[in-house]
């Protein structure tokens, strides 16, 4: 399927937010942190209510987005671990080896768009490179496996104002800066991205801006934000600890940075011919994020771990203030961007389905009713995470637990918070969904946890 050239955007900007919870922002029901720019984006474009991350954890999601392949097919189902990392001791099952980097031989969005003549840029968090090795000792560094090896020409691993940019060690954490009310700390990452927009405004470009916000560690240098949210919590009668206050400051800071990008696109005259997409890489950190009442959070396959905010703006093409309930997944971005730009989707992106017809109003559904997730790991630092996989078929969702061959079945239409397990009442449906799930994973060449001898 193709769209008329007159309806094609000249540019695409993909903005990834790190660990943003389902209910952290106004468009998704958030009532504490103030997010006027997220609100603006929802009013100017389309908000998806059933958008999913390909994984409940960072690196696996990013690998799937970049390639249009599922984490199971990539054998990239977990977050990057340093060479020699070991699974937690005493586990019931033996898990697969940790992924260490995205193979440069994989075809990425940068490769595809660069070959099609687009100026390509990647700014910020990559988290697909091996770290802790010669040439890339720094955590989250690009090293020799960064986006520049995946077709992106203009790259910058600047960390902006996020605490990842602070000197190493808690004792070096800076105190509050001299920022007036309404003034935010300078963010060099966003500055560099805006420099890219200015430099290439008259060319066609494909740009990824990947922020480190709102990932932990949580700390703001803007004292006025702390005072603001302490006072707001008191007015609302909410008892909030320091981390939750700091997190609200983080969310507002992220909103401010989104606003800077939108404002710059508007002022440069880029908005009308640019498809702008914003999404989170996984569910919110359950220690302080607001997952909007959804069960679980980051690191789980309950809805709080995989259902994420996703919004898109393309003035004149995407209906302002529109809402779409069709299930889509981050893996679909490859096909969506290719179709929008009139670029052939790579044959390798077998798990990617374009949802451009939803964005343009040409369709109200996709020719697909099933999504799957695969997480065959124990997290070495998060208690309670166990090997699991899940499948959503229509409004029914099944979670399969490998340790004890256990199933949980939920009706998301009537039970979006996953409170009522129907597996014992709908045994045949659960068995059929389990078979479909495992058949799909086997067809993708998935790695599975195994029994210890």
**pTM of the predicted model over 0.75:** yes
Task: State mean pLDDT over 121-143.
Answer: 93
Q: What mean pLDDT is reported for the chain?
A: 95
From the number of C-beta atoms within 10 Å of its C-beta (0-12, 13-18, 19+), residue 380 rates as middle
Contact 324, 446 (CB under 8 A): no
Pairing relationship of beta strands 205-210 and 11-17 according to DSSP bridges: parallel
Q: For residue 109, how many other CB atoms are within 10 A of its CB?
A: 28
Q: Can you read off the two tokens belonging to residue 422?
A: 């129907």
Among 23-32, 133-142, 362-371, the least confident range: 133-142
CB 9 within 8 A of CB 274: yes
Average pLDDT over residues 403-408: 97
CA distance 445 to 442: 5
Answer whether residue 177 shows pLDDT above 80: yes
SS3 447: coil
pLDDT tier for residue 383 given thresholds of 50, 70 and 90: confident
Identify the H or E element spanning 94.
strand 93-94
Rounded to an integer, the average pLDDT of 277-283 is 98
The pLDDT of residue 2 is: 54
- 3-class state of residue 96 by DSSP: coil
Mean pLDDT to the nearest integer, 41-55: 98
Helix, strand or coil for residue 331? helix
Yes or no: say if 2 and 340 are a contact pair by the CB < 8 Å rule: no
* Res 8: pLDDT: 80
pLDDT, residue 277, reads 98
d(CA 55, CA 305): 8
Please give the pLDDT value at position 4. Answer: 55
Residue 324: what pLDDT?
Answer: 97
Structural contact between residues 214 and 18, judged by C-beta atoms closer than 8 angstroms:
yes
Helix segments in 342-426, DSSP class H: 356-360
210 pLDDT more than 80: yes
Confidence of residue 453 (pLDDT cuts 50, 70, 90): confident
pLDDT at 291 over 70: yes
Nearest-angstrom CA–CA distance, 440 and 435:
8
> 63 falls in which pLDDT band (50, 70, 90)?
very high
């Amino acid at each position: 399927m193709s769209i008329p050239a007159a309806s094609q955007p000249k540019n695409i900007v993909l903005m990834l937010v790190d660990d943003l919870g389902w209910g952290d922002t106004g468009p998704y029901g958030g009532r504490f942190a103030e997010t006027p720019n997220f609100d603006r984006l929802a009013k100017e474009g389309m908000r998806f209510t059933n958008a999913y991350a390909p994984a409940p954890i960072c690196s696996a999601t990013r690998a799937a987005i970049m390639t249009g392949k599922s984490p199971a097919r990539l054998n990239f189902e977990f977050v990057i671990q340093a060479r020699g990392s070991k699974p937690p001791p005493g586990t019931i099952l033996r898990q697969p080896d940790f992924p260490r980097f995205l193979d440069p031989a994989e075809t990425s969005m940068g490769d595809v768009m660069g070959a099609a003549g687009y100026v390509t840029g990647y700014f910020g968090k990559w988290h697909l490179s091996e770290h802790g090795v010669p040439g890339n000792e720094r955590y989250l560094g690009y090293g020799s496996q960064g986006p520049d090896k995946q077709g992106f020409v203009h790259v910058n691993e600047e960390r902006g104002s996020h605490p990842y940019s602070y000197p190493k060690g808690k004792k070096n954490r800076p105190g509050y800066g001299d920022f007036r009310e309404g003034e935010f700390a300078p963010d060099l990452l966003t500055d560099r991205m805006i420099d890219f927009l200015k430099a290439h405004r008259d060319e066609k470009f494909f740009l990824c801006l990947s922020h480190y916000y709102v990932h932990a560690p949580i700390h703001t240098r803007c004292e006025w934000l702390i005072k603001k949210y302490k006072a707001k919590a008191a007015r609302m009668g909410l008892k909030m600890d320091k981390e939750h206050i700091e997190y609200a400051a983080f969310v507002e800071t992220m909103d401010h940075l989104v606003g800077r990008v939108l404002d710059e696109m508007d002022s440069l005259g880029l908005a009308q011919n640019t498809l702008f997409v914003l999404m989170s890489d996984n569910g919110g950190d359950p220690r302080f994020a607001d997952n909007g009442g959804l069960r679980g959070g980051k690191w789980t396959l309950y809805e709080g771990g995989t259902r994420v905010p996703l919004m898109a703006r393309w003035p004149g093409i995407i209906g302002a203030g529109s809402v779409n309930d069709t299930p889509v997944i981050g893996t679909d971005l490859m096909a969506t961007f290719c179709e929008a730009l009139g670029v052939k989707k790579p044959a390798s992106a077998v798990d990617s389905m374009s949802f451009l017809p939803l964005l343009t109003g040409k369709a109200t559904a996709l020719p697909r009713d099933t999504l799957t997730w695969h997480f065959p790991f124990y997290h070495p630092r998060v208690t309670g995470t166990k090997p699991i996989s899940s499948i959503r078929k229509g409004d029914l969702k099944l979670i399969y637990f490998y340790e004890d061959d256990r199933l949980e079945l939920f009706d998301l239409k009537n039970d979006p918070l996953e409170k009522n397990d129907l597996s014992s009442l709908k045994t045949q449906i659960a068995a059929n969904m389990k078979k479909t799930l495992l058949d799909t994973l086997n067809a993708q060449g998935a790695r599975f946890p195994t029994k210890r001898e």
